[in-house]
Amino acid sequence: MNFELSANSLDKVSSGGVIAFVFQKKDEEYKPHESFIKLNLILKGQLEKAAKLQNFSGKRGEVLVFIPQEKTLFNQVFILGLGKEDKFNLNELRKAIGALSGKVKHKIDSVSMDLPKVLKEELLNTVQAVCEGFILGSYEFNKYKEKKKKNKELSAVIFANAKNSKEIAKGIESAKLYCEGTILARDLVNEPSSVVSPTFLAETALEISKKDTHIKCKIFEKDELEKMGMGGFLSVAKGSDTPPKFIHLEYISKSKSNKKLAIVGKGITFDSGGISLKSGDSMMTMKCDMSGAAAVLGVFSVISKIKPSFSVIGLIAATPNLISGRATMPGDIAKTLNGKTVEILNTDAEGRVTLADSICYAVKEGATEIIDLATLTGACEIALGTEITGLFSNDSDLTEKVKKAAYSSGENVWELPLFENYKELNKSEVADVSNIPNTRWGGAITAALFLAEFIDDKKWVHLDIAGPAFTEKPNELGPKGGTGFGVRTLLNLFK
Ligand code: BES
Ligand code: ZN
Ligand code: ZN
């Protein structure tokens, strides 16, 4: 998608459609924004008439199409709701634009608009939110559909009245990078697990590193992992014929900072539950169980253009969790990279076992900070719903940074406690720790406490993305499927 600037006013730009923004008033009536007032004047009050006639409320994302009878440079007007003015911020703007983008993506090839002023926000950030809305809102994954929509593609957005072209260009550039990373993550999640195997993820990582001299990549094969002692990861991989891969990506910063951030993604390419088999219904979407890994790859695909001032390593233990005569059985014991033993009482709690080894590896590599992203527990989705990620941490500074980064990306996180008292729920009779707690209550917390066993003394944030990684229904920023959650939050941490 191209973003262009025009010094002309809104009515002097030719496009397939122009946006007239409106806010929502308390009483379900709309309140016009400047762009609406301007266009309404040019159209001699017809916009107002149409909005009233159709009971337009200005709800965020509501769209009303108006086709002027007289000759104008724009073919139609999109009256677009921004929601309540006192709640208006960049996240609302991004979603409103996303909703419009999704609705018009196959109907017109260009849109023109004025950039609305968002209170206290810099122009750059407003532009970035708008462009992200356009790009993400029109995302599709239709490569397996024979009949693709062959109509027009929304390919150009023109900002009218554009001043400060340098700042606008920066906002556009950032949005393009953030969306490129997000879209790679979405595509990886949306592809079936028969395509996105551990080998596929490893090849994707290698390709990323080949394109960029700042990025190194090493793939560890099964025999090396055995020698290293990654018994946790290998116990999950045992049931599959497809070879496991451990992916180590590294972005080397030129600065002399001692900080080394590890981003660790859960990379279960399909979670059947293993011997503790899931039901048919609950494994239907389990190709999404590598969403954390997808986010790590999404981040690395653009990281060197964002140039963090510290080193970043990306770690993925990639394998499906399958059932076979060779699979790990409940009651088996696995030895992880730091020597701790884990009693596997439920093979469906596999993510934490693979993450344990990945985290130990990050510690050994000298990471000073660790952030993991994992579709870890159904319990987290029950606690926070489908739009909020659970955040757990042992460090308040890192927590604040991640919360801020998430907020400005429009991704939702909410902190849940690493409540030490519950640690004993993960006790095992025969090993150092059990992979499931002895109670079903507080499952997201006990899973996080399991991971905490492997963190050493490093600063750590755990993001349980089980809810937001995959959406069952379309939303303003994309269709059903992978959301690419986490990519934009992580990229914001590099700014
Ligand atoms: N991958 C699942 C968690 C999950 C559930 C992700 C729903 C996305 C949507 C994970 O491996 C799992 O199966 N967890 C179990 C843990 C239990 C056996 C302690 C769960 O949440 O039921
Ligand atoms: Zn599982
Ligand atoms: Zn899983």
- In tens, the pLDDT along 35-73 reads 999 999 999 999 999 999 999 999 999 999 999 998 999
Pick the residue whose CA is nearest to atom 3 on ligand 1.
377
352 is catalytic: yes
| Contact indicator for 387, 412 with CB cutoff of 8 Å | yes
Taking the CA of 274 as reference, the closest ligand is 2
Say if ligand 1 is within 6 A of residue 348 CB: yes
Mutate to test the pocket of ligand 1, among 269, 288, 377, 462 (most ligand atoms within 8 A of CB): 377
Distances in Å between the Cα of 118 and the Cα atoms of 86, 129, 147, 168, 173 are 11, 11, 40, 14, 20
Give me 400's structure tokens: 């604040």
| DSSP three-state, residue 289 | helix
Say if ligand 1 is within 6 A of residue 390 CB: no
Below-70 pLDDT ranges, the chain: 150
**Closest ligand 1 atom, CA of 446?**
19
Say if ligand 1 is within 6 A of residue 357 CB: no
Say if ligand 1 is within 6 A of residue 330 CB: no
- Residue found under tokens 């070879």: 243
Model-level pTM? 0.98
pLDDT at 15: 97
- Gap from CA of 199 to ligand 1 centroid (Å): 23
- The full DSSP string for 248-284 is EEEEPPSS----EEEEEEEEEEEE--TTSPPPHHHHT
- Gap from CA of 286 to ligand 3 centroid (Å): 7
235 contacts: CB under 8 Å, gap ≥ 6: 328, 332, 334, 342, 344, 353
Name the phi and psi angles at 398, rounded to 5. -65, -40
Rounded Cα distance between 307 and 304, Å, is 5
Q: pLDDT tens-digit profile of 373-422?
A: 999 999 999 999 999 999 999 999 999 999 999 999 999 999 999 999 99
Rounded Cα distance between 404 and 64, Å, is 34
Q: Of 103, 222, 259, 278, which residue is the catalytic one?
A: 278
| DSSP three-state, residue 188 | helix
Rounded Cα distance between 314 and 299, Å, is 9
Say if ligand 1 is within 6 A of residue 351 CB: yes
Which residue in 440, 398, 439 sits closest to 415, CA to CA? 398
pLDDT at 234: 99
- The alpha carbon of residue 33 and the mean position of all alpha carbons in its chain are separated, in whole angstroms, by 31
| DSSP three-state, residue 433 | strand
Q: How many CB atoms lie within 10 A of CB 422?
A: 17
Rounded Cα distance between 91 and 126, Å, is 10
| Contact indicator for 362, 384 with CB cutoff of 8 Å | no
